Amino acid sequence: MSERPKDSGEAFQNPVAGFGVTFKAMFKKRLTEQYPEQQKTTAPRFHGRHQLNRHPDGLEKCVGCELCAWACPADAIYVEGADNTEEERYSPGERYGRVYQINYARCILCGLCIEACPTRALTMTNEFELADSSRENLIYTKEQLLAGLEPGMVDTPHAIHPGTDEQDYYRGLVTEAAPGTERQVAVSKGEKPQDAASSFGPAEPAANKEVDA
């Protein structure tokens, strides 16, 4: 069954309507962004690079629970927890994140790790310039992710605020470091040198060795 032939008026109007869209776009103002000369302004709730937060006295909010690593759909987070001691304390709780790494070659910036964190230790900043020429440099360590010190804070490790417990920190009752708070000596400092290389991805196959009979 043959199709009904189009009349000459319809055949003429269709191309003209298409060119109409083209002509309208020709006179619109260009939306070219002069990046990186002009820095792009992100939305206030933009999901960018992560940040590990501190309590007002400087102790770390991360308790090394690894829930963020379990929630990550891209397997981009690696956490090793360790126990606090009175001689070396990094967080108000029993444990802290000794090793914390995020692989931005895998991270999809979905924010599920933020929702999983029970202490609000992990949040996301507006920083979006994460490109690098090396995969190794895309693995951010705890030192790179940890928030800087603000006035009234003392760098970790240091003792808990006198007369308080872990719950007081999460209720917001601790607002600054106690007078005379001093930084403790870090004995168990430690991200091992091989952690950054071995935390993500399959291990290299072992070389075959001949065994003497």
- pLDDT per residue as tens digits for the range 139-197: 999 999 999 999 999 999 999 999 999 999 999 999 999 999 999 998 876 555 444 44
The mean pLDDT value for 107-119 works out to 94
User: On the CB side of 200, how many CA atoms lie within 13 Å of its CA?
Assistant: 24
**pLDDT(201) > 60:** no
**pLDDT(6) > 60:** no
**pLDDT(208) > 60:** no
* 209 assigned to a ligand binding site: no
Q: Residue 68, exposed/middle/buried by CB under 10 A (0-12, 13-18, 19+)?
A: buried
For residue range 25-74, what is the model confidence (pLDDT) as tens digits?
A: 888 887 787 888 888 888 888 889 999 999 999 999 999 999 999 999 99
**pLDDT(11) > 70:** no
Give domain limits for the chain. 47-188
**pLDDT(87) > 60:** yes
Are residues 185 and 156 in contact, defined by beta-carbon separation less than 8 angstroms? Answer: no
Are residues 72 and 113 in contact, defined by beta-carbon separation less than 8 angstroms? Answer: yes
* 60 assigned to a ligand binding site: no
Are residues 119 and 170 in contact, defined by beta-carbon separation less than 8 angstroms? Answer: yes
pTM value is 0.72
47-188 is classed CATH 3.30.70.3270:
yes
User: On the CB side of 34, how many CA atoms lie within 13 Å of its CA?
Assistant: 2
Give the span between the Cα atoms of 143 and 69, in whole angstroms.
18
* 103 assigned to a ligand binding site: no
Which residues touch 140 (CB under 8 Å, ≥6 apart)? Answer: 49, 50, 101, 102, 104
Are residues 77 and 152 in contact, defined by beta-carbon separation less than 8 angstroms? Answer: no
* 117 assigned to a ligand binding site: yes
* 62 assigned to a ligand binding site: yes
Lowest mean pLDDT among 94-98, 123-127, 208-212: 208-212
CA distance readout (Å), 11 to 14, 16, 19, 23: 6, 9, 14, 20
- Strand 50-52 with 77-83, pairing: unpaired
* 30 assigned to a ligand binding site: no
